[in-house]
Amino acid sequence: MPTPAQDWYVCQSKPRQEAKAEARLNEQGYVVYLPMLVRWERKKGAWSRTEQVMFPRYCFMRCGRDGQSIAPIRSTPGVLGLVRFGSEAATLSDATVEAIRELAEQGGREAAEKPAPFAVGMQVVVADGPLKGLSGLVSNVADERVAVLLTLLGQEKPIMIPAGHLVAA
């Protein structure tokens, strides 16, 4: 006979220690899910994909075996404890965690498909280079350069600009 689905507990970690909490809880035999988002980030004039925690300071966990106690969680390195409402631990259903998982995976797929964080028709501003301060519309996106329609000398011209020189308007 199949066992009923077990709810997920909401675990709060210490600031910026979500990965440490996840690793330590896994070592203790708990099933842990730390949702991550893939985002575009501009650093030193270049765009790159980075992974960030979807819910800073929180992860989801459940017991990995029958009869496993949740008491050791509060003394796990990187963990503050379980989120509680009064004396009841906060829980999420399997369906909710699966919806969060699908949302995170969808965002990762979308970021992986784009060569840059810009899309055709997006309004951008040139942040670096000789055209700094001008704004225009993205007309094409390539691997490292973006074609932007800029108004120069009264005419709209597509200009190829390094993606790292652009920011969303």
Are 33 and 77 found together in one domain?
yes
Are 87 and 158 found together in one domain?
no
Are 86 and 158 found together in one domain?
no
- Position 45, amino acid: G
Query: What's 14's domain CATH number?
Result: 3.30.70.940
Are 70 and 134 found together in one domain?
no
Are 57 and 20 found together in one domain?
yes
**pLDDT, tens digit, 9 for 90 and up, residues 83-118:** 999 999 999 999 999 999 999 998 888 777 766 688
Are 50 and 122 contacting, i.e. CB atoms less than 8 angstroms apart?
A: no
**Three-state secondary structure call for residue 141:** strand
What's the CA gap between 90 and 7, in Å, rounded?
10
Are 62 and 36 found together in one domain?
yes
Are 24 and 99 found together in one domain?
yes
Phi, psi angles (nearest 5°) of residue 96: -65, -45
**pLDDT, tens digit, 9 for 90 and up, residues 17-60:** 999 999 999 999 999 999 998 877 777 767 778 889 999 999 99
**Strands of 166-168's sheet, edge to edge?**
155-162, 145-152, 135-141, 123-126, 166-168
Query: Which residues span the domain enclosing 133?
Result: 123-168
Are 22 and 77 found together in one domain?
yes
pTM (whole model) above 0.75: no
